[in-house]
């Protein structure tokens, strides 16, 4: 169902990468192409993102089930931020499909910050007057401008995001659902050393659901650790997914 980009030999071990909020599978092209020498890398557009279908719902159960449809056996699973929460729920609901799990800079907790301001900023762009992607960036937060603009289809003058559903479902995106059981397989919680998304007080919740969890940080990286330190992120994936 999801639109996917693939890299590498389909006969190689499968590695699924789930992107974060407002992202797309192609955000991961550089890392995915480098990893494709060892893995068959699958990078989906999550529901309500990119070229994947639009829905009225955006729960982590929805997203986990979407990801499960892409896996036909035990696979390596990597997820960042929103995609990390979806990957966690996938591992908890379908442990037989997850050989090893890497969760990038997110914890199974509810966060207080919201991302609705970015939705409002994207809506405020007069797309009818846009001829070049750079022209749309004036209203956007400089810290995430380039990232958000990757989801702008200038030719069709539309955002490749279901902004209405993402706004309506923001409370679900910020939270983490009640999930029974645990995932006993190897799990790596990889964080940016400069990020505040994964705190020491989150570890009991992580260990409760993922008793075999390991923790590591990338130096001089924040929440967007894979974009800020791509080679280090790639090396961590290769070291863990063996």
Residues near 164 by beta carbon (within 8 Å), at least 6 away in sequence: none
Two tokens, residue 148: 């958000």
Structure-token match 């955000």, residue found: 27
% of the chain surpassing 70 pLDDT: 100
User: Where does the pLDDT of residue 199 fall: very low under 50, low under 70, confident under 90, or very high at 90 and above?
Assistant: very high
Annotated domain spans of the chain? 4-111+169-240, 116-164
pLDDT for the residue 138? 87
Would you give the DSSP letter of residue 54? Answer: P
Give the active site residues. Answer: 81, 164, 223
Give the model confidence (pLDDT) of 156-187 as tens digits: 999 999 999 999 999 999 999 999 899 999 99
CB 54 within 8 A of CB 26: no
pLDDT bracket for residue 100 (50, 70, 90): very high
Q: What is the pLDDT of residues 15-37, one digit of tens each?
A: 999 999 999 999 999 999 999 99
* pLDDT value of residue 217: 98
Band (pLDDT 50/70/90 cuts) for residue 113 is confident
Which residue in this structure is represented by tokens 């030999």?
A: 9
Confidence (pLDDT) at 38 = 98
In this prediction, residue 136 carries a pLDDT of 92
Model confidence pLDDT, tens digit, residues 116-167: 999 999 999 999 999 999 899 988 999 899 999 999 999 999 999 999 999 9
**Rounded CA separation 163/36 (Å):** 32
**pLDDT at residue 85 above 90?**
yes
Q: For the whole prediction, is pTM greater than 0.95? A: yes
Pairwise CA distance, residues 150 & 26, whole Å: 9
Note the pLDDT of residue 70.
Answer: 98
CATH architecture of 4-111+169-240: 3-Layer(aba) Sandwich (3.40)
Q: What sign results for the dihedral spanned by CA atoms 127, 133, 137, 138?
A: negative
């Amino acid at each position: 169902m999801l639109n996917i980009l693939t890299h590498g030999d389909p006969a190689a071990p499968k590695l699924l990468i789930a992107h974060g909020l407002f992202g797309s599978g192609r955000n991961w092209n550089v890392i995915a192409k480098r990893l494709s020498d060892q893995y068959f890398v699958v990078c989906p557009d999550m529901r309500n993102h990119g070229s994947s279908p639009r829905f009225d719902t955006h729960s982590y159960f929805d997203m986990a089930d979407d990801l499960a449809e892409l896996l036909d056996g035990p696979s390596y699973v990597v997820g960042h931020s929103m995609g990390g929460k979806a990957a966690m729920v996938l591992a908890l609901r379908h442990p037989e499909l997850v050989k090893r799990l890497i969760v990038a800079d997110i914890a199974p907790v509810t966060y207080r910050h919201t991302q609705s301001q970015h939705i409002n900023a994207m809506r405020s762009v007069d797309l009818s007057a846009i001829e070049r992607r750079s022209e749309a960036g004036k209203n956007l937060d400089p810290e995430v401008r380039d990232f958000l603009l990757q989801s702008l289809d200038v030719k069709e003058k539309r955002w490749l995001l279901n902004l209405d559903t993402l706004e309506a479902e923001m409370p679900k995106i910020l939270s983490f659902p009640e999930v029974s059981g645990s995932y006993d397989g190897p799990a790596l919680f990889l964080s940016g050393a400069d990020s505040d998304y994964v705190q020491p007080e989150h570890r009991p919740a992580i260990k409760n659901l993922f008793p075999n969890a390991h923790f590591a940080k990338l130096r001089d990286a924040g929440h967007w650790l894979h974009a800020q330190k791509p080679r280090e992120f790639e090396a961590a994936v290769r070291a863990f997914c063996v």
